[in-house]
Structure 1
Amino acid sequence: MIDLTTIWAFIIAFAIFAYVVMDGFDLGIGVLFPSFAVGRERDRAMNSIAPVWDGNETWLVLGGGGLFAAFPLAYAVILPATYPLIIAMLLGLVFRGVAFEYRWRDPSHRRFWDAAFSGGSIVAALSQGMILGALLQGIEVTDRAYSGSWWDWLTPYTLLTGVGTVAGYALLGATWLVWKLDGDAQTHARKLGKIAAVATLALMGAVSLYNLVLRPEYGDHWLSAPAIYWVAPIPIATLIVAGFLWHALSCDRHSKPFWLSLALFFFGLAGVGVTIWPYVVPPGLTIWDAAAPERSQIFMLVGVAITMPLIIAYTAWAYWVFRGKVGDEGYH
């Protein structure tokens, strides 16, 4: 049954997916940055994301703000449970943002700013993956409030999801550069893309298997009948997309590897949705338990119906304007 709460759950999920795929590739470029040659190759990689990187983070604001507005109880539980990770993520985003601007304006310290850009990207990506892992492994709630310890988020599982997110973002970054660069830089990006693809698929598989035994209900969502017949296409489609991605990285394809990487992320997040549904804070809070009052949801839905198409429109326009290859002087 589809109701207002379900609609809001899908809106938040869409915002998170949009953030992951859009900010993911520029975080991925930061993850890969130390492997780029100092000078022209690094400059071209930075120029490829210069027009869009800050606008991509709009979706992070929409996802976090939407969670606060539509599911305030979930927001009040998740934040105290993951404060160290959220602080680390925000500091990482600040460092990479400052470094992005200052590496051009302060050439004498460019090595420092390059390190800050890369380090901030890695910390932000790792923190985001660990936040997801902390949520999936379950958050202790007593009397509608977080009742766990300061370190509950730090487990082998959250480290696995964190490293998996770093690898996935590196894949997005590499395939973006395959699309936007040419010559030796593109060849280098293809090699990095293959390494990142293998790492991403291996870690996706490890996390998926871990999920089956992480909580009993997760295994039931995937392995019990008749659910298994509905969810089986997700891992099958993931493997098919992975095969096409490897082929595209091995051939003279430009934009195709990036779109296939997005498809890989889509099926990965779809798998997360199947695993966690209908909980917003496992194991005790469903989306209906944590939802705002119905009138509040209706009021906010009107605002989202107006603003989200505008965000999508100006984002699409920005990507359309900067749709070409990147040369030494920027887009052409």
Structure 2
Amino acid sequence: MLVWFWLAELAVALAAYVAVDGIELGIGILSGFAATASWRDRMVASMAPVEDRHGTWLVVAGTFLFGAFPAIYSIAFPALYVPLSAMLAGFIMRFAASELRRKAHPARRLWDHVLFAGSLLAAFAQGVAIGTCAKGVPLDRVHCTGNEFAWASVFPLWSGIGAVLCYAMLGAGWLALDGAADLHRFGCEILDRLTPPTICVFAAMFVTALITHPLIETRSRLHPALFVLPALSAGRRARRIGRGPCARRISYRLDRMATA
């Protein structure tokens, strides 16, 4: 019973981290596509309510994993040295850029590029790490027998691309909900543009899993709904984007802002 308690705590900490830091990563990625420097500044300023709050959840999740599941910690980390090191490098780049771009005016454009690159690197590395864990690592009892390049395969790399797209969509959703009218339109446009490639990437991940994991292919043949349900869900999402409750809430908020 205690194991399930710590597992639930770890899941909550990871979910909180993804929700909060995902906004910062997404806006950092989208900042590289801002039309003007003013737009970029306003996009970065919109992160103020959630800025610098993600570190707590990441530390909590790491503490839970180390204290409650030491075997998993010792097995997974040797196979994830490269993506986790890349993620930390991305965090350092993003933190430095967030602070220095406000002060180093002559080199502000440089730090804007560093902010974009750090956010992109951290998001991609997280996706690769998740994909590596989902794919599995070679084991000998409780010891990892693979090398540091267990992540260098098709499925983890697709997972990295999927993580970048998902974080970008999360940042776009934040801009659509919390941004001014022009940032709202920019966020909605990004959501419309990113939905089809995101669906394609997850479809590629599904096909890759079928090809590389015979067990998944066998279960999919025994349960055809595993093919049908994802396709129906993707089609429904693609058709109804922009018409859901979230979009109506955004439109209502904009109407109130216009009449205020």
TM-score band w.r.t. shorter chain: 0.7 to 0.9
Q: Do residues 52 (structure 1) and 44 (structure 2) align? A: no
State the distance in 2 between where 1:80 and 1:47 align. 37
Determine the structure 1 residue equivalent to 2:74. Answer: 76
Contact 2:31/2:44 (<8 A) preserved: no
- Further displaced range: 55-64 or 236-245: 236-245
Determine the structure 1 residue equivalent to 2:201. Answer: 203
- CA displacement at 1:126 relative to structure 2: 0.3
1:128 to 117, 126, 129: 126
Determine the structure 2 residue equivalent to 1:175. Answer: 173
Contact 1:30/1:118 (<8 A) preserved: yes
Q: Do residues 247 (structure 1) and 243 (structure 2) align? A: yes
| Superimposed CA distance per residue, residues 116-157 of structure 1 (whole angstroms, 9 cap, x where no aligned partner) | 111000000000000011111110111411111121211121
Name the CA shift for 1:17/1:210 in 2 (closer, same or farther; >3 Å).
Answer: farther
State the distance in 2 between where 1:191 and 1:10 align. 36
Name the CA shift for 1:94/1:255 in 2 (closer, same or farther; >3 Å).
Answer: farther
Name the CA shift for 1:220/1:75 in 2 (closer, same or farther; >3 Å).
Answer: farther
- CA displacement at 1:236 relative to structure 2: 5.2
2:43 partner amino acid = A
- Further displaced range: 59-68 or 117-126: 59-68
| Superimposed CA distance per residue, residues 178-210 of structure 1 (whole angstroms, 9 cap, x where no aligned partner) | 112223332222211211222222212221232
State the distance in 2 between where 1:143 and 1:250 align. 47
Determine the structure 1 residue equivalent to 2:161. Answer: 163
State the distance in 2 between where 1:214 and 1:246 align. 35
Contact 2:20/2:53 (<8 A) preserved: no
1:27 to 25, 28, 45: 25
Determine the structure 1 residue equivalent to 2:16. Answer: 18
State the distance in 1 between where 2:166 and 2:24 align. 12
Name the CA shift for 1:209/1:57 in 2 (closer, same or farther; >3 Å).
Answer: farther
State the distance in 2 between where 1:168 and 1:124 align. 13
Contact 2:90/2:119 (<8 A) preserved: yes
Determine the structure 2 residue equivalent to 1:293. Answer: none
Contact 1:24/1:169 (<8 A) preserved: yes
Determine the structure 2 residue equivalent to 1:188. Answer: 186
- CA displacement at 1:22 relative to structure 2: 1.8
- How big is the alpha-carbon RMSD for the aligned residues of Structure 1 and Structure 2? 2.8
Determine the structure 1 residue equivalent to 2:37. Answer: 39
SS at match of 1:159: helix
1:91-106 aligned at under 5 Å gives the runs 91-106=89-104
State the distance in 2 between where 1:43 and 1:217 align. 49
State the distance in 2 between where 1:63 and 1:234 align. 30
1:277-296 aligned at under 5 Å gives the runs none
Determine the structure 2 residue equivalent to 1:149. Answer: 147
State the distance in 2 between where 1:32 and 1:16 align. 23
State the distance in 2 between where 1:42 and 1:74 align. 40
State the distance in 2 between where 1:128 and 1:217 align. 25
- CA displacement at 1:11 relative to structure 2: 2.6
Determine the structure 2 residue equivalent to 1:302. Answer: none
Q: Which has the higher contact order (CA 8 A, sep 6+)?
A: 1
SS at match of 1:96: helix
| Superimposed CA distance per residue, residues 207-266 of structure 1 (whole angstroms, 9 cap, x where no aligned partner) | 1232234323434565545xx77998677556545544343599665289xxxxxxxxxx
Name the CA shift for 1:208/1:44 in 2 (closer, same or farther; >3 Å).
Answer: same
State the distance in 2 between where 1:241 and 1:69 align. 40
Name the CA shift for 1:209/1:10 in 2 (closer, same or farther; >3 Å).
Answer: farther
Contact 1:96/1:120 (<8 A) preserved: yes
Contact 1:171/1:200 (<8 A) preserved: no
TM-score by length of 1: 0.68
- CA displacement at 1:42 relative to structure 2: 0.8
1:41 partner amino acid = W
Contact 2:196/2:238 (<8 A) preserved: no
TM-score by length of 2: 0.86
Percent identity of equivalent pairs: 31
State the distance in 1 between where 2:194 and 2:227 align. 26
Contact 1:133/1:162 (<8 A) preserved: yes
Determine the structure 2 residue equivalent to 1:267. Answer: none
- Number of residue pairs the alignment of both structures matches: 253
1:61 to 55, 59, 62: 59
Structure 2 residue ranges without an equivalent (≥5): none
